[in-house]
Amino acid sequence: MISAGDIRNGVTFVYDNDVVQVIDFQHVKPGKGAAFVRATIRSVMSGGTKEVTFNPSEKFELAQIEHKDMQYLYNEGELYYFMDNETYEQFPFDKAIVEDAITYLKENDSAIVRFYKGKAFEVIAPNNVELEVVHTEPGVKGNTATGATKPATVETGAVVNVPLFVNNGDIIKVDTRTGEYLSRV
């Protein structure tokens, strides 16, 4: 059990006979009246989001989420195929499940897949990935004093803002949580 006053981003619990994950929360203590918790929650199964308000003393049952390390194999239309690294069984996932992670995953990359009662609901890319820059405009000499950036398209199709010295063919490290450039490899 978890009380509403203890919820944080990423916590998964049962609410109104549905499993939800906290996307954003705010503890509010108004000058008059009782404190409350305002949260944005997303249904794990349907993907719908909504804003709710809780009394901090409300209690909820924590959901048992299973995490599996899987390897991304390939995609075929709207299906993305992953392989369980322990059983070598292949699973097709819809685009809605892999949407956030797929822009940073290449074939044969590892990812974490989250399950609730045997049903996958989210694919999480590694925190940092190394990707090749396939297209970017050349930097203009003399423009580097301000820390200027330019957009660069990487091999997975994601667009990342990079410093002006990064060129086509460079391998860069990207933070998948924020989509930010970290360094050149």
- Count other C-beta atoms under 10 Å from residue 147's C-beta: 8
Residue 2 has pLDDT above 90, yes or no: no
pLDDT digits (tens, 9 = 90+) for 137-169: 887 666 556 678 889 999 998 999 998 888 899
172, containing H or E segment: strand 171-175
Q: Which CATH superfamily is domain 65-124 in?
A: Nucleic acid-binding proteins (2.40.50.140)
Mean pLDDT of the chain: 88
CB–CB of 138/183 below 8 Å? no
Are 2 and 56 within 8 A, CB to CB?
no
Does the pTM surpass 0.85? The reply is no
Fold of the 128-184 domain: OB fold (Dihydrolipoamide Acetyltransferase, E2P) (2.40.50)
Domain extent listing, the chain: 2-62, 65-124, 128-184
pLDDT tens digits, one per residue of 11-38? 889 898 888 988 899 988 888 888 899 9
Check if the beta carbon of residue 67 is closer than 8 Å to that of residue 111: no
- What distance in Å separates the CA atoms of residue 163 and residue 185, rounded to the nearest whole number? 13
- Amino acid at the residue 8: R
Give the distance, in angstroms, between the CA of residue 17 and the centroid of all CA atoms in the same chain. Answer: 25
Phi, psi of 166 (to 5 degrees): -75, 135
